[in-house]
Structure 1
């Protein structure tokens, strides 16, 4: 009899719910995709040029495990200038292979078997599996649409137990676009301090905010020493394929994370690190232009959804709209699949982001205005057929 060579953990992992719709769309012609969580902008030329130059000059060997010191210094300066938080480049910053790897090693660093991590839904699809793979227990709390998908402190307190180790927080949020303001962060900080919890703050969308200044959780009183700040270059700097992120945290935590990072990854790609140095030095104007474009697109698509009867709150950041499709009588899966098959528009059903995402769809507006207008025309036609 042939052995089952797969671990129980690997067998239990479910494939990403997002991927199924991408695979469906990939086999169709003329699809307008609002599904991909990726900027439609090309990485700025000067950033690409810096990577090319580094290769031409022969910088093709490993960097330090934590990343090029020059890059860590640039990250430190950038975080101070943009968000007023300070981290030592020599001991409190690690350059990672994307923000996802940073979250992964953070989980593996802080969790013992059975430790609980509070995950606020709707949320990015990889959060819960990463807690599972690190031996932890994900505890899901539903941020409700009545509160614009923002969590209430009382909801957090209701699920905290003696086993609770950390809260995983993403603001601006994927998939809803909701962003917590300073007062709301302070309320969460009070909970973290009261119960002596860590907070893993996924701030990958921090550059993409539209209506108010962004506040980093690490800036809130009492939080720097208990925050593992995750960010990177994929979203704000249009560098998804470069796979470059970073983590900022107190030295005790980063140095423990570094041990896992060095055994699992060694270091992030050197040429991508040289590109990131250029992005931080001279790429801010490109980011600002992207934000202006995203704001115009956000305003257009949110208004369009509301006009067609799909109630949609105005996202404060990221590049996602999360309209309700409850008025159609269809489930999220049914709506997304029929919209794809009947009108060739790809969106992501809200339920893949957690129970509280049911009745919604995620639509990325990180695509051209022409594509958005075409998607709206097709969706209007689809909605009219349902009435």
Structure 2
């Protein structure tokens, strides 16, 4: 039976592929260090787990409103007011099955066939695929490493056509960990307002920042940009709740209404007990969240210092998320490989270190390393990578 063309055009997730291979090697008894994971290695804070248990004990296990329970919506609204001084109403919020579902649903209700979304590269692997699933066209814009992989107003302006509907901004970024400053966002915002382009602001890593800089949402920079922006966020990364699948979108009430209507015909509602867990995440203590952030900060500093000592590896220190995105083109060449993808495969086969090739993120000279694992594992991984290169070099 022939499958739908929209599915046949999809590119498999490189993150999931490398993770699957690493798991297979582990199952065979190999000592694999997997640095491909896009999730914290900490357990969900106890008060969140207890809140979910309590909701089940209290019988809160039935259908909920498609757009999320009102209490959780209010908690999200209060969080946005406290953190970014942004005011939203219940009509401007939808709770979704993870931030990924929020993005997917947004593109489904936003795009007509052939309409374009500007996707700065390196990008999170699902952005272009979700645009394609909505029959839109992802316009990938290659950013420069010397500009910290960030979209500039000039690059944005050059990429706009009469079919451009939206642009995606991800800060802090997956895979690079880089952040946009207030001034950079203002300059991008001016171009978006000039051409009436919707801004999709993915802020899922906003709580994982390791410098004195504060997270800035482009929606808070002016009333006009507030109206022009849909914010995507969730509790997966900030509260180590990846498996709970709770995200949300905020913005224009007509867009949110359409997203809620679509959700009502596709998923019915986010899982009830997960919503009560998310409610506890946003109304309870942030002590565990801060402990996790501090641990990630230490790991980043250590792993970055180890990597830049490795021959052929070049890496600017990121400011947020929990990834490093080094350029290893020279390392691959030193080892006798024509490209980074083959280098990554050989590293996994020979040294049992699993990295994600940058080609899956639109940047074939780089690799993504997640430091969401112990310092001991990170140090051992750095040693194995160095050994692999030096052995091949000699």
State whether TM-score is above 0.5.
Answer: yes
Residues 246-297 of structure 1 deviation map (CA, whole Å, 9 limit, x = unaligned)? 1011212111211111111111001001001111111422111111111111
Q: Distance in 1 between matches of 2:152 and 2:44?
A: 37
Q: Which residue of 2 aligns with 1:270?
A: 272
State the Cα distance separating 1:386 from its structure 2 match.
2.6
State the Cα distance separating 1:5 from its structure 2 match.
3.5
Residues 1:290 and 2:292 are matched in the alignment: yes
Q: Which residue of 1 aligns with 2:133?
A: 133
Q: Which residue of 1 aligns with 2:58?
A: 57
Q: TM-score scaled to structure 1, two decimals?
A: 0.97
**RMSD of aligned C-alpha atoms?**
1.0
State the Cα distance separating 1:58 from its structure 2 match.
0.9
Q: Which of 360, 368, 371 is equivalent to 1:365?
A: 371
Q: Which residue of 2 aligns with 1:114?
A: 114
Q: Which residue of 2 aligns with 1:341?
A: 349
Q: Which of 326, 330, 340 is equivalent to 1:327?
A: 330
Residues 1:380 and 2:386 are matched in the alignment: yes
Corresponding pairs, count = 381
8 Å Cα contact 1:44-1:283 kept in structure 2: no
Pairing of 1:1-387 with structure 2 (within 5 A): 4-28=1-25, 29-88=30-89, 90-211=90-211, 212-221=213-222, 222-309=224-311, 310-328=313-331, 329=333, 330=337, 331-354=339-362, 357-387=363-393
Residues 162-204 of structure 1 deviation map (CA, whole Å, 9 limit, x = unaligned)? 1100001111111111110111111110110011100111111
Residues 57-84 of structure 1 deviation map (CA, whole Å, 9 limit, x = unaligned)? 1110011111110010001101111222
Q: Distance in 2 between matches of 1:381 and 1:182?
A: 41
8 Å Cα contact 2:6-2:135 kept in structure 1: no
Residues 18-57 of structure 1 deviation map (CA, whole Å, 9 limit, x = unaligned)? 2221121112121011111110000011100110111111
Q: Which runs of 4 or more aligned residues in structure 1 lie more than 6 Å from their structure 2 counterparts after TM superposition?
A: none
After TM superposition, the structure 1 stretch with the greater mean CA deviation from structure 2, 39-48 or 75-84, is 75-84
Give the secondary structure class of the aligned counterpart of 1:113: coil
State the Cα distance separating 1:14 from its structure 2 match.
2.3
8 Å Cα contact 2:68-2:275 kept in structure 1: yes
Q: Distance in 2 between matches of 1:126 and 1:112?
A: 19
Q: Distance in 1 between matches of 2:60 and 2:279?
A: 14
